[in-house]
Amino acid sequence: MASASTSATNAASTPTKLKVKRFAPAETPTNTYLTDEKGVWAWLTTVDHKKIGLMYLGAVAFFFALAGFLAIALRTELWTPAKTFIEADTYNQLFTLHGAMMVFFVLVPSIPAALGNFILPMQLGAKDVAFPRLNLASFYIYVFGAIFTFLSLANNGFDTGWTFYTPYSSDSNSAGIIWVTLGVFILGFSSILTGTNFITTIHKLRAPGISWDRLPLNIWALYATSIIQVLATPVLAITILLLAMENIMDIGIFDPALGGDPVLYQHFFWFYSHPAVYIMIVPGFGIISEVITTFSKKTIFGYWAIALSSLAIAFIGFLVWGHHMFTSGQSAVATTIFSFLTFLVGIPTGIKIFNWVATLYKGSISMKTPMLYVFIFIFLFSIGGFTGIMLGALSVDIHLHDTYYVVAHFHYVMMGGTLIALLAGLHYWWPKMTGKMYNEPLAKIAAGFIFVGFNVTFLPQFIMGAQGMPRRYYNYIDQFTPFHQTSTIGSYILAVGFLIILGYLLHSLFKGKQAGPNPWNSRGLEWQSTSPPDFHNFAHTPVVIHGPYDYHQPMEEFQLGLAVEHGHDEAHAEEATEAASEAKTEA
Amino acid sequence: MANHSATHPKHVQHHFVDSNQQFESAKLGMWVFLVNEILFFGGLFCAYIVFRAWYPELFTQAALELNTFWGAVNTVVLIGSSLTVAMAIRSAQNNQKRGLEINLLITIFLACVFLVIKYFEYEHKLHLGIAPGSFWNPTEEIAAVLDHPKANIFFGIYYMMTGVHGLHVIVGIGLMVWLYLRARKGHFNSEYYTPVEITGLYWHLVDLIWIFLFPLLYLIE
């Protein structure tokens, strides 16, 4: 994509090819967004989307480590059928916290808030999101929500499972529940405001030339996600507020002892929480589209199919919440309709998988780490997705509901899906964000640990779930011991993988090789800038004249430059060159 | 910095190309936020629908305890305040500083009237023991009239809906006081009145929600 600071209409009206004086971005930029503001206070008060994205990344990594550590503790406890080293009541609190932290503090915000915040404006050729101060506020709201959740732990904690089903969650009038529900309520607004910001940015701040049919698929994915965030999260907010009020003053809407209906709670809760899983995975789909095209050196197969399928998932995703409640006593008609719609929602996702595989065909595949994660994603997410469809079949679900089969299913889609996509995106955009390359062989080894560890952890869970091992159970019968022990060993392998990742990523910050502007030779707009980028992302507002994945065009076509108008002589070209270099050194 | 136009008006933030982009973005952002608010209240309306479908006689019985007259007054008050906030925007568009200030003040006043009436409504009910949740303790007189076993649920919903709405009114008042103070300092003119416009949008939604609340709670029979 070429850039012009003169009006693009010149290019449109002249039949001859636009003459552009191209400037390669500096290999080792001296003045970047990292050097522009210095000091802790500058970071804490920044309105720069890139810094906010990094702060989110740090927070998400922290919560992932914490919740992951809890997972290791849980799996270790499950080594033996009876107590291994944790009390039963503590066990319940631990799996509840593990789930709540992973869902609300890691999976929902991770890709949109951490990577999305950084990359979205750059892919749109914008200087920032539409509401930078609101963006910072979203981050602090997230932190606030986390603080409230931790305060809950200091006040008796909570052991209801991350789903907070009534009447157990409304009966005890527990301080712990009140704190965590208020914490989740607050956190929801972080999600809503980020979604609002993204929708507005995508509509109003696109650089000239980025028409809707030239939007990177990552943007389409974030757009669909933001729509879900804005429509679904407020329903969680009101549900959790009502739950808090049940605990604080016994309002009685959900508690049968007070005249309420506990299944109503489930309907309200899942009306958000089902679309929530699409908030978690759809941004991941966007990342896969970006990485798979770059490392196949080929344009995406089925651009509109992938773009519109994200919107289809967003829409149908609002209609399937009842599949979490097949055994809760809904009418037969309702369950049948929800089952049918659940099958339907799998179709747009399947469309994406086929289109990605078709993208690979006759591509020039480069198996760098991000691409490795793409393949891991396709494998693991397909298993997760298929088992979701199986759970959507009513007769099968009667047996599998609330068993380890469900646990394995959602770990395959959330961890094997969202988290792997996050790792793909992290490894893809790491050079852009930090200007450094990480150790590639070590990264591939870590990916191996994660792939092996993940399957060893979760494949046995499908089997034991089908054999009847219930979820959330502290004790189990002897026949499940080999499965649990295998699963536990797998979790340690996973942990090693993540520790390796943490190690080489941190190491790269200090000792990593300079990345240069475009180590992957991507045609993406965000790559036509220095690594790390300038504070304002681009020296001039880019004007985009190519599609997002035009790999058939030579790399030189995409280097930003200044248009040299026809009829103007060298003198003007000189001026333009000087102005641009000045602007660059200023930047 | 490139594209840092020399004629860059002060009110245009740096990441926007021009004033129009900023204004359009602010409006779209506020509309999206309002959609979110509709979904938020939607949960409460859904609870209302569910319980009313299950216990229709409860709702018609309990609604008689609500004061239709004052509810209607509040409706007129809020609609009036929507009118005055729209007039405030008009004043800003026409560079009428005084008009902007006065219209904002009237809007704030009307919003406060709404809250005062609400306060008296609540006070009267609490006096009779018609309180939410665990504080439900109706006097004998009331208990004789409100003999439905789920009467506390209706009022739980009533207090939640009007309470959450009232909180939004309070937030609106806060926003409009802030706008008034800025208007006094001359921050707004025909070139730039974005905060007035988007706060007006918010206020219209608060009004609209009451327009649904009022008949559903007060006028059913």
Taken in order of first residue, the domains within chain B and their CATH numbers are 19-218 (1.20.120.80)
pLDDT of amino acid A283: 98
In this structure, what is the dihedral angle of CA atoms A25, A28, A30, A36, given to the nearest 10 degrees? 80
**Using one digit for the tens of pLDDT, what is the confidence trace for A111-166?**
999 999 999 999 999 999 999 999 999 999 999 999 999 999 988 889 999 999 98
* Containing structural domain, residue A210: 9-586
ipTM confidence score: 0.93
Q: Does residue A178 lie within any of the structural domains?
A: yes
In this complex, the residue of A204, A232, A248 whose CB is nearest that of residue B28 is: A204
**How many CB pairs below 8 A link A and B?**
124
**Closest listed residue to residue A587, CA positions, set B14, B16, B2:** B2
Q: Does residue A539 lie within any of the structural domains?
A: yes
Q: Does residue A569 lie within any of the structural domains?
A: yes
Q: Does residue A350 lie within any of the structural domains?
A: yes
Q: For B31-43, b where at least 16 C-beta lie within 10 A, e where not — what string? A: bbbbbbbebbbeb
% helix / strand / coil in chain B, to the nearest 5? 75, 0, 25
Q: Does residue A2 lie within any of the structural domains?
A: no
- Secondary structure (3-state) at A103: helix
Q: How many CA atoms lie within 13 A of A436 on its CB side?
A: 14
**Using one digit for the tens of pLDDT, what is the confidence trace for A525-564?**
999 999 999 999 988 889 998 999 999 999 888 888 877 7
Q: Does residue A4 lie within any of the structural domains?
A: no
In this complex, the residue of B1, B16, B156 whose CB is nearest that of residue A251 is: B156
Question: Does the distance separating the beta carbons of A252 and B152 come in below 8 Å?
Answer: yes
Of the residues B16, B24, B40, the best mutation for testing chain A's interface (the one with the most A CB atoms within 10 Å of its CB) is B40
**Closest listed residue to residue A471, CA positions, set A109, A196, A92, A184:** A92
Q: Does residue A579 lie within any of the structural domains?
A: yes
The counts of H helices and E strands in chain A are: 21, 4
Contact A198, A226 (CB under 8 A): yes
**Closest listed residue to residue A108, CA positions, set A282, A320, A269:** A282
More confident residue, A555 or A347: A347
pLDDT of amino acid A586: 34
Q: How do the pLDDT tens digits run along chain B, 221 residues long?
A: 444 555 678 889 989 999 999 999 999 999 999 999 999 999 999 999 999 999 999 999 999 989 999 999 999 999 999 999 999 999 999 999 999 999 999 999 999 999 999 999 999 999 999 998 888 888 888 888 888 888 889 999 999 999 999 999 999 999 999 999 999 999 999 999 999 999 999 999 999 999 999 999 999 87
Asked if B157 reaches chain A (Cβ–Cβ under 8 Å), the answer is: yes
Q: How many CA atoms lie within 13 A of A395 on its CB side?
A: 0
Contact B25, B16 (CB under 8 A): yes
> A-chain residues within 8 Å CB-CB of B46?
268
Sorting pLDDT into bands at 50, 70 and 90, what band is A572?
low
Q: What percent of chain A has pLDDT above 90?
A: 82
Q: Does residue A3 lie within any of the structural domains?
A: no
Q: What percent of chain A has pLDDT above 70?
A: 93
Sorting pLDDT into bands at 50, 70 and 90, what band is A11?
very low
Closest CA–CA distance from residue A230 to any residue of chain B (Å): 5
Q: Which two tokens stand for residue B147?
A: 């003999």
Closest CA–CA distance from residue B3 to any residue of chain A (Å): 6
> A-chain residues within 8 Å CB-CB of B47?
242, 253, 264, 268
> A-chain residues within 8 Å CB-CB of B35?
230-231
pLDDT of amino acid B2: 46
Q: Which two tokens stand for residue A445?
A: 């080894």
In this complex, the residue of B29, B39, B159 whose CB is nearest that of residue A130 is: B29
Question: Which pTM was predicted?
Answer: 0.93
> A-chain residues within 8 Å CB-CB of B1?
536, 583, 586-587
In this complex, the residue of B32, B132, B150 whose CB is nearest that of residue A200 is: B32
Q: Which two tokens stand for residue B45?
A: 């309306």
In this complex, the residue of B2, B39, B50 whose CB is nearest that of residue A5 is: B2
pLDDT of amino acid A195: 97
Q: How many domains are contained in chain A?
A: 1
pLDDT at A2 over 50: no
CATH number at residue A47: 1.20.210.10
In angstroms, the first-to-last Cα distance of chain B is 66
